[in-house]
């Protein structure tokens, strides 16, 4: 079915289409770019489908790179990489991820009918022999109606679609969350029936989808769908075990519900901060394995270990693995109003200047997820005191001391070794307790005194 419409793609993308049309080929914009353009959303990637075979695409675009056996050529255009793929039909997916083989076709309809969801099976363009005025949307699967009704529906038989490629199970939850769409009942039911096949998806791809889910608003939507369809227990079992674990939080809220409420609160507190959302998702991951006698003793330590292991397995960047692990490890801090300035500085030193703001936001989200005010536990006051110490610029790191190891070796006549490291740690502790002590003379005098006591 064809519909008149215009897609406002960048000039460089139109240039790719024009080159194919001038070369005697059919060419269409397809996939998520068309979907998002029709929804008025920002388009990240523009994909083109054509009846040209890969070797012909390379003839039209000599700078193109032939990417894979599925007929995709990446064409650089105006600073963009446009993927140009030959119309194809798929065959058996023995591994529940990739077709064992593909057959190229000259039929756009066949290409659209093999796609995952109807809203991704809309094309915009024209055959080579049509007039420029004949540009149209081609929608054989009813994707436009589903866009209008904000509905996510699998193309054809949903059981077949998910059995072909288990990654679609994760994509369904993620797209529903990103687009604020309802998943059509038969599609949702098929997700539950095929959920075990998600174990065939690589950890890296699961991690990539998790990153996109956590960035949706609200982020809990995708995870509720995963739990509802049992995909969660096969893709992210470390999170799934939180379901049904009772705890003393908001009435009627189990550990999983608390986790999701905390994630949504984190998103509301600092919307662009996806690392904070990720930490909120896993902040209580250590509770199920530490539960005993109604308590979760040591769940922060165990949670940090499990969070690092999970995010490492999902191929998250090392900096995020380390940061989230440290946030989980420290999220159970207990502030008291009688803390001295030195105690506040020691807290900042332990957590790190770069993470202390995220940790305070994580606690605020945890409070909201527990049915409490965000600033419960004098958190607002503590945040102010932490900021005062940060603004004062008190030394918190060894490199901020007025002396270094070379100074101690030269001035004290001590050979390099563990004793130097021990003295520097002692000096830093003294400076954190009394910032005015960060003076070269005072620090060397203190070091001589400790050295004499040691001897």
pLDDT at 295 over 90: no
Domain assignment present for residue 268? The answer is: yes
The pLDDT-based confidence of 69 (bands split at 50, 70, 90) is low
Question: Which of 297, 316, 335 is the last residue before a domain boundary?
Answer: 316
Structure tokens belonging to residue 351: 């957590």
CA distance 50 to 125: 10
Q: Are 99 and 113 in contact (CB under 8 A)?
A: no
**165 and 132 fall within a common domain:** no
Domain assignment present for residue 153? The answer is: no
Nearest-5° angle of CA 279, CA 179, CA 119? 135
pLDDT at 68 over 70: no
Structure tokens belonging to residue 333: 């801090």
Q: Can you give the pLDDT at residue 342? A: 94
**132 and 166 fall within a common domain:** no
- In which domain, by residue range, is 287 found? 158-316
pLDDT tens, 98-122? Answer: 555 578 888 999 999 999 999 999 9
**254 and 196 fall within a common domain:** yes
pLDDT at 128 over 60: yes
Question: Which of 293, 316, 339 is the last residue before a domain boundary?
Answer: 316
**188 and 112 fall within a common domain:** no
Domain assignment present for residue 324? The answer is: no
**168 and 134 fall within a common domain:** no
**126 and 8 fall within a common domain:** yes
Q: Can you give the pLDDT at residue 92? A: 52
Domain assignment present for residue 240? The answer is: yes
CA distance 114 to 123: 13
Q: Are 259 and 268 in contact (CB under 8 A)?
A: no
Buried b (16+ CB within 10 A) or exposed e, 71-106: bbbbbebeeeebbbbbbbebeebeebbbbeebebee
Structure tokens belonging to residue 130: 């049509």
CA distance 240 to 232: 6
Q: Can you give the pLDDT at residue 455? A: 58
The pLDDT-based confidence of 5 (bands split at 50, 70, 90) is low
CA atoms within 13 A on the CB side of 392: 18
Where residue 27 sits, what CATH number does that domain have?
Answer: 3.30.460.10
**408 and 279 fall within a common domain:** no
**230 and 269 fall within a common domain:** yes
Helix (H, G, I), strand (E, B) or coil at 137: strand
pLDDT tens, 212-229? Answer: 999 999 999 999 999 999
Q: Can you give the pLDDT at residue 250? A: 76
**198 and 240 fall within a common domain:** yes
pLDDT tens, 313-364? Answer: 999 999 999 999 999 999 999 999 999 999 999 999 999 999 999 999 999 9
CA distances from 156 to 141, 190, 326 (A): 8, 12, 46
- Domains contained in the chain, number: 3
Q: Can you give the pLDDT at residue 4? A: 54
pTM for the model:
0.89
- Strands annotated E in 32-101: 47-50, 65-66, 72-77, 80-86, 88-90
Domain assignment present for residue 374? The answer is: no
**87 and 176 fall within a common domain:** no
Domain assignment present for residue 334? The answer is: no
**179 and 270 fall within a common domain:** yes
CA distance 59 to 47: 18
Query: Which of 4-13, 212-221, 250-259 bottoms out in mean pLDDT, i.e. has the lowest?
Result: 4-13
Residue 135: its H or E element: none
Domain assignment present for residue 175? The answer is: yes
Domain assignment present for residue 387? The answer is: no
Q: Can you give the pLDDT at residue 7? A: 86
**67 and 128 fall within a common domain:** yes
Question: Which of 285, 316, 347 is the last residue before a domain boundary?
Answer: 316
Q: Can you give the pLDDT at residue 247? A: 83
């Amino acid at each position: 079915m064809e519909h008149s419409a215009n897609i406002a793609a960048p000039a460089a993308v139109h240039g790719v289409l024009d080159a194919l049309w001038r070369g005697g080929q059919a060419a269409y914009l397809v996939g998520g770019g068309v979907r998002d353009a029709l929804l008025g959303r920002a388009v990240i990637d523009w994909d083109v489908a054509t009846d040209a075979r890969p070797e012909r695409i390379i003839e039209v675009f000599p700078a193109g790179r032939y990417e894979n056996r599925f007929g995709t050529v990446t064409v650089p255009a105006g600073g963009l990489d446009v993927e140009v793929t030959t119309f194809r039909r798929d065959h058996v997916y023995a591994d529940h991820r990739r077709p064992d083989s593909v057959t190229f076709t000259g039929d756009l309809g066949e290409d659209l009918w093999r796609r995952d969801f109807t809203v991704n099976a809309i094309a915009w363009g024209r055959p080579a022999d049509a007039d420029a005025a004949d540009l149209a949307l081609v929608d054989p699967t009813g994707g436009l109606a589903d866009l209008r009704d904000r509905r996510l529906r699998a193309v054809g038989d949903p059981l077949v679609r998910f059995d072909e490629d288990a990654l679609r199970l994760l994509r369904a939850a993620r797209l529903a969350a990103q687009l604020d769409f309802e998943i059509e009942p038969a599609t949702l039911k098929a997700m539950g029936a095929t959920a075990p096949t998600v174990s065939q998806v690589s950890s890296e791809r699961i991690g990539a989808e998790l990153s996109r889910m956590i960035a949706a608003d609200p982020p809990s939507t995708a995870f509720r769908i995963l739990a509802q369809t049992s995909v969660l227990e096969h893709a992210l079992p470390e999170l799934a075990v939180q379901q049904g674990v009772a705890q003393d939080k908001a009435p009627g809220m189990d550990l999983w519900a608390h986790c999701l409420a905390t994630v949504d609160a984190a998103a509301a507190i600092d919307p662009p901060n996806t690392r904070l959302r990720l930490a909120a998702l896993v902040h209580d991951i250590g509770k199920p394995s530490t539960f005993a006698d109604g308590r979760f003793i040591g769940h922060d330590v165990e949670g940090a270990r499990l969070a690092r292991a999970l995010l490492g397995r999902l191929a998250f960047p090392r900096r995020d693995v380390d940061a989230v692990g440290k946030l989980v490890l420290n999220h159970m801090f207990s502030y008291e109003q009688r803390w001295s300035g030195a105690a506040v500085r020691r807290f900042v030193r332990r957590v790190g200047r770069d993470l202390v703001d995220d940790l305070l936001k994580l606690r605020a989200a945890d409070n909201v997820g527990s049915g409490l005010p965000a600033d419960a536990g004098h958190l607002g006051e503590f945040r102010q005191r932490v900021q005062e110490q940060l603004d004062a610029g008190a030394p918190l790191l060894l490199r901020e001391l007025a002396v270094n190891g070379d100074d101690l070796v030269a001035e004290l006549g001590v050979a390099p070794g563990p004793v130097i490291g021990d003295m520097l740690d002692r000096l830093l502790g003294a400076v954190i307790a009394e910032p005015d002590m960060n003076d070269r003379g005072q620090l060397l005098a203190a070091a001589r005194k400790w050295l004499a006591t040691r001897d």
